[in-house]
Amino acid sequence: MASETTKVVPLTCHGHSRPVTHVSFSSLINTSEYYLISACKDNNPMLRDGITGDWIGTFIGHKGAVWCARLSPGATLAATGSADFSAKVWDTYTGEALHTLQHNHIVRAVAFPNQTRPQILATGGAEKKLRIFDLSRGSATSSPADGQETADTTPSYEIGPGVHNGTIKSIVWGTDLNILVTAADDKKIRC
């Protein structure tokens, strides 16, 4: 009886012009479909087919290095955190920026909850604050005729004020909506 060996061929995804800072996969869509999003110092996060690595689109709008990029569980939304002191929420079908969430410093981490229709987003970074944005309230990003973005009025709530003593570099949302895990520069993991 001969055993079958599977040949694994690594994907090489071209397109970024600077170092890639973060890569994230969506959850499984249907039975065999998923997506990959990459963050990069070239300011342009890219969406790709998770199986083939084929380029689907680039989210244009950040004015600084993009440190983190995540997809919602259904891959209908993407979130990015940037050195331009903002996090953006994108429609993955149109590439349109739905929300531009201003911060007072570099945004290094973003996370959606593990639910089908995410209405909230967690962000963290050099502000040393874990913030939750309610995407179902407030106004979304819009560009008037003069090309300038209007202020996004999406409300946010700080979780555990003063708890983080270093830049938040990673956020993971547990299966329970009430449990978030952060990793920060202060060498601590918090739940």
Scan for tokens 């002191």, then name that residue. 85
Q: Which of 77, 136, 12, 32 is nearest to 87 (CA)?
A: 77
pLDDT at 82 over 90: yes
How high is the pLDDT of residue 21?
A: 80
Number of domains the chain is built from: 1
Average pLDDT over residues 89-98: 91
Token output for 43: 């300011």
In a domain, 66, yes or no: yes
| Upper half-sphere CA count for residue 86 (Cβ side, 13 Å) | 20
Average pLDDT over residues 125-135: 90
In a domain, 8, yes or no: no
CATH of the domain at 80: 2.130.10.10
- Domain of 25? 20-141+151-190
How high is the pLDDT of residue 49?
A: 83
How high is the pLDDT of residue 146?
A: 46
In a domain, 1, yes or no: no
Max distance between CA atoms of the chain, in angstroms, equals 71
Q: What does pTM read for this prediction?
A: 0.84
Specify whether the backbone of 30 is left (phi greater than 0), alpha (psi in -120 to 50) or beta: left
pLDDT higher at 66 or 33: 66
pLDDT tier, 114 (very low <50, low <70, confident <90, very high otherwise): confident
Write the CB contacts of 77 (distance below 8 Å, at least 6 apart in sequence).
71, 89, 90, 91, 92, 98, 112, 118
Average the pLDDT over each of 7-21, 58-72, 120-134, 172-186 and give the range with the smallest value: 7-21
Average pLDDT over residues 79-102: 92
How high is the pLDDT of residue 46?
A: 86
pLDDT at 174 over 70: yes
In a domain, 3, yes or no: no
How high is the pLDDT of residue 66?
A: 93
In a domain, 85, yes or no: yes
